[in-house]
Amino acid sequence: MEGPEQSGNVLKEGLFCVFEGIDGSGKTTLIQKVREELLNQMPELSDSILLLREPTSGKTGQKIRAFLQAGNNLQRSEWIDLFMLDREENVNSSIKPELKNKKLILQDRYFYSTAAYQGDETEPPGAQEILEESLKRGFPEPSLLFFLDIPPEVALERITKSREQMESFETLAQQEKFYKNFLRILPEECIFLDAMENSDEIAFEISKIILGAIEDQ
């Protein structure tokens, strides 16, 4: 592996790690712990790690979050268009440039979430169709894809205990639908993790996988 004095970066090439799961699976907290664990094991990564999320904090992402919190009853096609636009902005302004700069990206949600949350097997487009549309648009596929696996009823119980205000889609029936959609579309190379386990142990396991990918570059 090239040293920082040669390449200006610990990584030889960018690494794009995506974390998926239904709400209540603990993704956001886990990503922070993964970052901490990576730095514990490899401090020289401090300038290389970038945390991203979707919806983003950009103009379109903020609009999406506001609509979700307000329970706006948009058409499904409108939701999909908003998520696609937010992703296009994220890909062009952050993901592609930062991968070119040899960054290690840890991203909370990506096009798998859009497919799982907006896909409907009884009224097209289904989850697979939405996923294929994302791929047609040239959005980069993850280097590593992690799925936090948790029973929908347990995830909903976590949400209920931790939040004063529930978002419009946070019902058991909806969570079960999203979970099934994820299982339909996640690729074979996706790494499934038991979200019921201790989060520190999960973070350690993920960090080993990421560090192994860095060493294999």
Please give the Cα distance from 214 to 102 (Å, whole number). Answer: 11
Task: Indicate the SS3 state at residue 209.
Answer: helix
For the record, the structure tokens of 39 come out as 């730095």
* Average pLDDT of every residue of the chain: 92
CA dihedral angle for residue 75, residue 81, residue 85, residue 91, rounded to 10 degrees: 120
pLDDT digits (tens, 9 = 90+) for 12-38: 999 999 999 999 999 999 999 999 999
CATH (domain of 150): 3.40.50.300
Secondary structure (3-state) at 56: coil
Domain count, the chain: 1
Rounded Cα distance between 72 and 83, Å, is 15
Residue 8 has pLDDT above 70, yes or no: no
Alpha helix stretches (DSSP H) within 57-143? 59-70, 76-90, 96-100, 111-118, 127-136
pLDDT category at 72 given cuts 50, 70, 90 is: confident
Residue 5 is predicted with a pLDDT of 40
Share of the chain above pLDDT 70, in %: 92
Q: Could you tell me if 112 and 182 are in contact, meaning their C-beta atoms sit under 8 angstroms apart?
A: yes
Q: What pTM, to 2 d.p., does this model score?
A: 0.92
Comparing CA positions, the residue from 180, 166, 69, 65 lying closest to residue 122 is: 180
Q: What are phi and psi of 70, to 5 degrees?
A: -85, -10
Task: State yes or no: pLDDT of 114 exceeds 60.
Answer: yes
Is the pLDDT at 66 greater than 60? The verdict is yes
Domain hosting 201: range is: 4-215
Mean pLDDT calculated for residue range 72-82:
91
